[in-house]
Every structure is written in C-alpha cells, then in structure tokens.
Amino acid sequence: MEELQKFVSSNGLDMVEGSIYNWRVEPQYYGKPEPFAYVIHMGGMALMYQALYDPEKEILSICNIAYSSDEVLRFYCATLWDAEIIVKAFIKANEIDMQETIYYIG
C-alpha cells in the first residue's frame, strides 16, 4: 500500500489524498492529535452526511448529521481505499454532487 499524501486545504484543514477522494484528518478527542480519523462531508446543508473512517478500528461509519445519531451505517474496511469504494457507492446511490467540494479529486 502506498503512503498517503498529506496536505493543507485552501481553508486550512489537514487533509490526505486518497485514490478517489480527499479526506480531512480529524482528531477523535478534543486537544489530542492521536488517535485520528479520516472524514468526508457529503451533501448540502439541508441533507448532509458524514463518512468517518477510523484506521485503528478499521470501521467506516456513515451518518446523516442533521438527524439522530442512532442511525449510523457501519462497515468493516481494512484500508482507507476500501472505505473509499463504499463512500463512492453511497454518493452515487444518493445522487450527491461532490464536484464543488474540497473532497473531490478531479
């Protein structure tokens, strides 16, 4: 597996470049840099989903952040690349336009 390319987005967010999408690097606990997760926001303000990949637990979680956090889809993914395949399918199935986001790799 190749090394993830880290960079800072135009609005100052720590990011890594995946093979399909850019992922934001986000600490899981306030004030602590480790452990971290990879995050993508999908959709607009009215209907926004969040995909969060925890590399330590190898779990991808997708939820609608506007509604109850009880409704979370969870998937086992051994790598970030596995998580990207599921996120890509979710985006396509829900007809979410990602082209104008910092997460899209054109």
| pLDDT the model gives residue 106 | 62
80 C-beta neighbours (distance < 10 Å), count = 21
Chain center to CA of 35: 15
**Mean pLDDT, the chain, integer:** 86
Please write the tens of the pLDDT for every residue from 33-52.
778 899 998 887 667 889 99
Contact (Cβ atoms closer than 8 angstroms) between residue 23 and residue 41: no
Phi, psi (deg, nearest 5) at residue 77: -140, 120
DSSP character string of 44-70? -SSSEEEEEEETTTTEEEEEETTS-TT
pLDDT at 81 over 50: yes
Contact (Cβ atoms closer than 8 angstroms) between residue 103 and residue 21: yes
Query: What's this model's pTM, rounded to 2 decimal places?
Result: 0.85
